[in-house]
């Protein structure tokens, strides 16, 4: 890659700055951490690796990076692409082979979306491998738009107000998931991937499915963004400014015991009788 243009340089600095802010805000990476960077072969995970390698050079702490890709045995998967790319970078890496493709095809009826089951099987395998290699953090490439989309998916279809947190401890307590791109938007990541010419590997299992609810939500948000620029950022900020007393979750706020404060000063101190 030659000298960057002014716009490319600004884009690179913006992604690095936002990722650095997210890492600092949520204490994602600590001194001595071994960070397992999960690579799918898509634009998001390539960008995440690129940014983390930069942070590793400039951060005041020391941490290891280990790149891991899961070969799910999808037909036509180009097995040579990631190893060649990672060898050129000089990054320690592992390729985990697990035939989840056959499991998904066997269990999911033709025409139904496969992402949910595929994701669960992949995540479980990666959790186990992270434990095996002694990784203290597991980095995933989800960005701001993914987080906002997940928020609406959970609200529309699961009846819950939750999204993807920038940092998460797994249910078993043995894995901590981090999302360094949590503050970065997909448009910037796509532009960065394009000019860096990452060797993108498409998902042949589910990438072409048109009936994904996530795609419907993505298009809804994109339409909102076109009509009101900045709306997605505003929605994301709302996830960082939760006011439990203004919602209706009785587990988060004690509505039952709520009553007037007898010691509070009267709102009307000078009352005129008419």
Residues annotated within the binding site for [4Fe-4S] cluster are 115, 118, 206
Annotated binding site: 115, 118, 206
Q: Give, to the nearest 10 degrees, the angle between helix 144-153 and helix 213-227.
A: 110
State the DSSP code for 75: T
What span, in angstroms and rounded, lies between the C-alpha atoms of 110 and 191? 34
State the DSSP code for 114: -
Q: Starting from the edge strand earliest in sequence, which strands make up the sheet with 34-39, in order?
A: 93-97, 64-71, 34-39, 137-139, 176-178, 167-169
In which element (H, E) is residue 119 found? helix 115-133
For the CA atoms of the chain, what is the radius of gyration?
22
State the DSSP code for 52: H
What span, in angstroms and rounded, lies between the C-alpha atoms of 98 and 147? 27
Contact 144, 160 (CB under 8 A): no
φ, ψ dihedrals at 59, nearest 5°: -70, 150
What span, in angstroms and rounded, lies between the C-alpha atoms of 15 and 151? 23
What span, in angstroms and rounded, lies between the C-alpha atoms of 168 and 73? 28
DSSP letter for each residue of 136-151: SEEE----HHHHHHHH
Beta-bridge partner residues of 37: 67, 139
Q: Give, to the nearest 10 degrees, the angle between helix 43-58 and helix 186-196.
A: 80
């Amino acid at each position: 890659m030659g000298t960057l243009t002014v716009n490319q340089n600004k884009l690179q600095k913006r992604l690095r700055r936002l990722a650095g802010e997210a890492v600092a805000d949520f204490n994602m990476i600590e001194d001595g951490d071994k960070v397992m960077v999960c690579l799918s072969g898509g634009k998001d995970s390539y960008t995440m690796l690129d940014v983390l390698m930069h942070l590793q050079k400039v951060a005041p702490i020391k941490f290891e990076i280990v790149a891991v890709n899961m070969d799910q045995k999808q037909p036509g998967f180009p097995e040579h692409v990631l190893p060649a790319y990672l060898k050129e970078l000089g990054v320690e890496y592992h390729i985990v082979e697990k035939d989840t493709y056959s499991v998904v095809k066997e269990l999911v009826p033709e025409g139904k979306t496969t992402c949910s089951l595929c994701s669960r099987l992949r995540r479980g395998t990666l959790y186990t491998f992270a434990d095996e290699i002694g990784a203290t953090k597991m980095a995933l490439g989800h960005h701001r738009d993914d987080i906002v989309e997940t928020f609406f998916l959970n609200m529309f279809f699961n009846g819950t107000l939750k999204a993807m947190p920038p940092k998460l401890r797994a249910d078993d307590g043995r894995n901590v998931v981090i999302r360094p791109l949590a503050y970065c938007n997909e448009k910037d990541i796509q532009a960065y991937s394009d000019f860096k010419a990452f060797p993108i590997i498409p998902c042949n299992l589910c990438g072409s499915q048109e009936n994904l609810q996530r795609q419907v939500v993505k298009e809804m948000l994109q339409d909102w963004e076109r009509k009101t620029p900045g709306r997605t950022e505003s929605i994301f900020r709302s996830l960082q400014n939760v006011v439990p007393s203004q919602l209706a979750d009785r587990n988060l706020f004690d509505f039952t015991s709520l009553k007037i404060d007898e010691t509070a000063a009267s709102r009307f101190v000078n009352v005129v009788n008419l």
